[in-house]
A and B are shown apart, each in its own frame.
Chain A
Amino acid sequence: MFRTLVEDLNPGLTRLARTYVTAAIADEVVQETWMSVLRSIDTFEGRSSLKTWIYRIMLNKVRSVAGREGKIVPFTSVGPHAAGDNASVDIERLVHPDLGRGYWPDAPPRWDSMPAESLEAQETADRVDRAISSLPAAQREVVTLRDIEGWSSEEVCNALGISTVNQRVLLHRGRVAVRQALEDYLS
């Protein structure tokens, strides 16, 4: 039973930890997490699921390691579209010649008319990974759990201890930032 639990959760824990620190350090953090899980299982009160409880243990560890190593991505280094700019699309882009501010002048280029190879290329996938890693930590956690691991919003709220509304805002900010990075790369 323990082995099944480890097999279920270890890959996802590792992927999330690796967005904070190098792969080697992340793997160590996850090993320590499992040790803590075994040592403190008696304190698990069943108020959250076992999965979200284990993720919380890992996140506490990896956040403190990342803080020590100075690896937390500072909010200001997140690229041209993130820091202080909360719009999903740069407002300077949304200026229609007749309708004025707030409207697309013309539609952005469609990605589905591009050759399939460019969206499916390894380089595009690397770009996506890099865009996710450079998100502010709170957005990165939500995007990783929702869009990479496929968790429900309820599970994410429990694991991260955030409200439904906050979860949705972080998810939106993260997704549109990755979309922008892809658009910058593909155009």
Chain B
Amino acid sequence: MTDDQFFIKNELRITCADAVELVTEYLEETLSPADLDDFQTHLSLCEGCQVFLDQVNATITLMSRSRQVDVPLLPGNMDALLAVLDERAAQKPDEASSS
């Protein structure tokens, strides 16, 4: 290894291969203070890992939009469920008042 390579690797603290594995822990705020320091230092010097982190964030945003997909608010057997509920209430009048 040349002095330059050694110097750059030293500045980066960790490899990109290690940094990309820490992304979720970083986002979850579960990194130890030492790992957080290494990760943030690496990130500030490494465009590849910055882009990777941005892409993971963009992926999370896109996934959260899947929520809008149409699904039924109520199950198709809602009437039958309410009938069972009524039946139970009739059997246990004392509990029905508290539920």
Which residues of chain A have a CB within 8 Å of any CB of chain B?
1-3, 6-7, 10-11, 14-15, 18, 27, 30-31, 34-35, 38-39, 87-89, 91, 94, 98-104, 106-112, 119, 124-125, 128-129, 132, 143, 147-150, 153, 168, 171-172, 175-176, 178-179, 182-183
Give the distance to chain A from B12, nearest Cβ to Cβ, in Å: 8
Q: Are B81's CB and A111's CB within 8 A?
A: no
Given contacts A39-B84, A112-B54, contact A182 B75 (CB under 8 A): no
Hey, which chain A residues are within 8 Å of B73, CB to CB? 7, 10-11
Given contacts A110-B54, A175-B59, contact A125 B66 (CB under 8 A): yes
- B75 touches which of A1, A6, A107, A111 (Cβ 8 Å): A6
Hey, which chain A residues are within 8 Å of B99, CB to CB? 1
B76-91, CB under 8 A of A: which get 1 and which 0?
1110111011001000
Hey, which chain A residues are within 8 Å of B75, CB to CB? 6, 10, 27, 30-31, 34
Hey, which chain A residues are within 8 Å of B34, CB to CB? none
Q: Are A31's CB and B8's CB within 8 A?
A: no
Interface of A is mostly: helix
Total interface residues in chain B, CB < 8 Å: 51
For residue B55, CB closer than 8 A to chain A, the reply is yes
Q: A14-B71, A94-B17, A108-B52 are in contact. List 16 more A-B contacts (CB 8 A).
A: A6-B81, A15-B69, A31-B76, A88-B21, A89-B17, A94-B16, A98-B5, A98-B8, A102-B18, A143-B63, A148-B64, A148-B67, A172-B21, A175-B23, A175-B59, A182-B62
Give the distance to chain A from B20, nearest Cβ to Cβ, in Å: 4
Q: Are B63's CB and A89's CB within 8 A?
A: no
What are 17 A-B contacts defined by CB distance under 8 Å?
Answer: A6-B75, A6-B78, A14-B71, A31-B75, A34-B81, A104-B46, A107-B48, A110-B51, A111-B54, A128-B63, A148-B63, A148-B66, A149-B67, A150-B64, A150-B67, A178-B59, A178-B63
